[in-house]
């Protein structure tokens, strides 16, 4: 090529690229309705029977539960079950919705529901998943292809179970054959799900699964519920993108590449609102519980725990650390959840705290350790506030900030090596289903993976189980029992609820609309995309 021609060719190429780029930047949006939801944690698994963590963010789009619970009205909404009736004290009749089909087009049958329930229970027996929600089930009898009866081992409020956030999903029993698993609890089946396979009947089906990066869902046109939700502007494609850094979520939102953000820094909310973004504060049952190591000196002394609790600047925590988006904790159970007790709120009293410490003769300068989760700005802020207040009492607080997985591991250490486990830890918790047991079980002796207090009290455990047994039949009757237990915890203070969290969802209202019914406090961090409207 002639040397004179070379610059001309390069110039033409550069112009072509620039023109193309400008065309792309100014292109008209396609007709496909896409929603990108930014979520802060990597997906931990999508086995509908075994998943017990953040995988529910995906699972509620892929699978239906028999019922859904509406905390605003306290009603159970018929979902995959058209009828869900108690026909005897220990017997429930379930009729599956006509026309409900799985993502492969096969009809949802009573056999599939039976398979799903029994698998959850069997996995739970092996310590996997949260199938305990079905623990009162004695037998599942299939009456015909669309009807079944569930026999319980006594009076049992099964509607709560059927609407649980975890382990209540219905899926096809064909998964056994597809995965080549020998039994419902075979590891092969769990692996099959976690490799990005599913066979549910939910509004969306799985298009691609990259748990560390993003999950892409596409609208399932044959979903029975489209007629019910009546949302012609529902997204055709949903991208659940894993964006851990809140700052990155904000950048993505401003760049228009994230349409619904679940965790932006609270400090920028005003600026986002001024920029035209919608900031929605949703009430949740997600609370942050401070757990004291009761097996290590000095937090094994009740007076010391109370002194620390009295040192917390309760009135400053929510305004300072949560920018007002939350509520001060009272008891272990969050506001709005059955069993919430407003009388169990603590206040700051440094004089009383000093008196208690003097009573137990705790040497001045004693160092305590608190472990918090790195990246959780509200926990970091709380730890700093607490350190400041404890310093006034002559105590030093060492703040250890760890990634979530390491926090869990340090928490469980209380059982194997309590002297090495931290004095205090902040544990954030949300419910499996509507029962106060869920929160109080954090202090059950055998619950080694979550009872980071190392609290082991036979009397407490027995009374908790008694309350739970009553609860299974009638929640209202169980509430006084739970209240007693909460007061017991309030006196002993192995753990204390710091605050109930409000989740902040930020979205561009010119692009999407997130109606109230798309968010539900029972289903934490789940967005029911079938209700989301894509406007442009």
Q: Which residues bind other proteins (CB under 8 A)?
A: 17, 20-21, 23-27, 29-30, 32, 34, 36, 42-45, 50-53, 124-132, 187, 190-191, 194-196, 210-213, 216, 236-237, 239, 243, 245, 248, 251-252, 254-257, 259, 403-406, 408-409, 412, 441, 446-450
Nearer to other proteins by C-beta: 196 or 313?
196
Give the strand pairing for 91-96 and 34-39. Answer: unpaired
Smallest distance, other proteins to C-beta of residue 208, A: 8
Give min distance, CB of 85 to other proteins, in A.
29
Q: Length of the chain, please?
A: 536
User: Smallest distance from the beta carbon of 417 to other proteins, in angstroms?
Assistant: 12
Nearest CB to other proteins, comparing residues 236 and 377:
236
Rounded Cα distance, 431 and 333, in Å: 10
Report the residue number, 429 or 490, with the smaller CB distance to other proteins. 429
CB 62 within 8 A of CB 200: yes
In terms of CB distance, is 71 or 211 closer to other proteins? 211
What is the smallest separation between the CB atom of 96 and other proteins, expressed in angstroms? 28
DSSP state of 101: B
**Least CB distance from residue 386 to other proteins, whole Å?**
24
State the Cα–Cα distance between residues 455 and 468, nearest whole angstrom: 19
Find the shortest distance in angstroms from Cβ 135 to other proteins.
Answer: 8
Closest CB 458 distance from other proteins, rounded Å = 17
Q: Which is nearer to other proteins, 358 or 420 (CB)?
A: 420
Closest listed residue to residue 424, CA positions, set 322, 337, 305, 247: 305
- The C-alpha atoms of residue 299 and residue 278 are separated, in whole angstroms, by 44
The Cα 61–Cα 219 span in angstroms is: 9
Nearer Cβ to other proteins, position 441 or 483?
441
Q: How far is the CB of 24 from other proteins (least distance, A)?
A: 5
CA separation, residue 43 to residues 11, 105, 213, 214, 490 (Å):
46, 27, 9, 9, 35
Choose between 136 and 304: whose C-beta lies nearer to other proteins.
136
Please say which residue, 109 or 427, places its beta carbon nearer to other proteins. 427
CB 338 within 8 Å of CB 436: yes
β strands within 311-363, DSSP E: 326-328
- Going along 71-131, which residue ranges are E strands? 75-78, 81-88, 91-96
Which is nearest to 160 in space by CA: 184, 127, 125, 132? Answer: 132
3-state SS assignment for residue 278: strand
Report residue 512: phi and psi, to 5°: -135, 160
């Amino acid at each position: 090529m002639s040397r004179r021609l070379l610059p001309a060719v390069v110039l033409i190429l550069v112009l072509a690229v620039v023109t193309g780029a400008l065309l792309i930047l100014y292109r008209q949006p396609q007709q496909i309705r896409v929603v990108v939801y930014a979520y802060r944690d990597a997906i931990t698994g999508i086995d509908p029977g075994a998943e017990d963590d953040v995988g529910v963010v995906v699972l509620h789009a892929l699978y239906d539960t028999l019922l859904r619970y509406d905390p605003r009205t306290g009603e159970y909404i018929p979902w995959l079950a058209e009828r869900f009736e108690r026909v005897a004290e220990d017997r429930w009749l379930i009729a599956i919705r006509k026309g409900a089909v799985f993502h492969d087009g096969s009809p949802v049958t009573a056999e599939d529901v039976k398979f799903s329930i029994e698998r959850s229970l069997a996995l739970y027996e092996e310590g996997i998943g949260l199938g305990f929600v079905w623990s009162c089930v004695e037998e599942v009898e299939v009456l015909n292809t669309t009807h079944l009866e569930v026999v319980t081992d006594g009076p049992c409020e099964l509607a709560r179970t059927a609407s649980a956030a975890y382990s209540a999903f219905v899926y096809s029993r064909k998964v056994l054959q597809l995965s080549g698993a020998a039994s419902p609890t075979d590891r092969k089946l769990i692996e099959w799900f976690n490799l990005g396979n599913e066979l549910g009947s939910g509004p969306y089906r799985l298009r691609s699964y990259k748990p560390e990066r993003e999950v892409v869902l596409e609208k399932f046109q044959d979903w029975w519920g489209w007629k019910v939700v009546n949302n012609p502007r529902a997204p055709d494609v949903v991208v659940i993108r894993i964006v851990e850094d809140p700052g990155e979520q904000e950048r993505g939102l401003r760049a228009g590449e994230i349409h619904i953000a679940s965790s932006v820094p609270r400090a920028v909310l005003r600026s986002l609102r001024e920029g035209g973004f919608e900031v929605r504060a949703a009430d949740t049952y997600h609370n942050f519980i401070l757990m004291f190591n009761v097996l290590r000196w000095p937090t094994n002394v009740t007076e010391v725990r109370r002194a620390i609790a009295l040192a917390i600047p309760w009135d400053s925590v929510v305004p300072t650390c949560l920018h007002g988006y939350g509520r001060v904790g009272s008891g272990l159970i969050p506001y709005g959840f059955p069993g919430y007790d407003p009388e169990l709120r603590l206040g700051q009293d440094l004089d009383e705290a000093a008196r208690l410490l003097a009573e137990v003769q705790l040497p001045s300068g004693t160092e305590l350790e608190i472990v918090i989760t790195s990246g959780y700005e509200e926990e970091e802020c709380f730890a700093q506030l607490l350190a400041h207040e404890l310093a006034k009492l002559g105590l030093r607080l060492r703040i250890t900030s760890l990634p979530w997985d390491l926090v869990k591991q340090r928490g469980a250490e209380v059982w194997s090596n309590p002297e090495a486990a931290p004095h205090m830890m902040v544990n954030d918790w949300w419910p499996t289903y509507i029962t106060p047991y869920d929160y109080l079980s954090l202090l059950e002796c055998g619950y080694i993976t979550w009872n980071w207090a190392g609290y082991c009290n036979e009397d407490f455990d027995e009374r908790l189980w008694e309350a739970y047994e009553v609860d299974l039949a009638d929640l209202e009757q169980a509430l006084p029992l739970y209240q007693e237990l909460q007061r017991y915890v309030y006196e002993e203070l192995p753990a204390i609820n710091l605050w109930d969290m409000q989740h902040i969802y930020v979205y561009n209202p010119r692009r999407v609309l997130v109606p109230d019914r798309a968010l539900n406090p029972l289903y934490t961090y789940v967005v029911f995309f079938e209700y989301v409207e894509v406007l442009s």
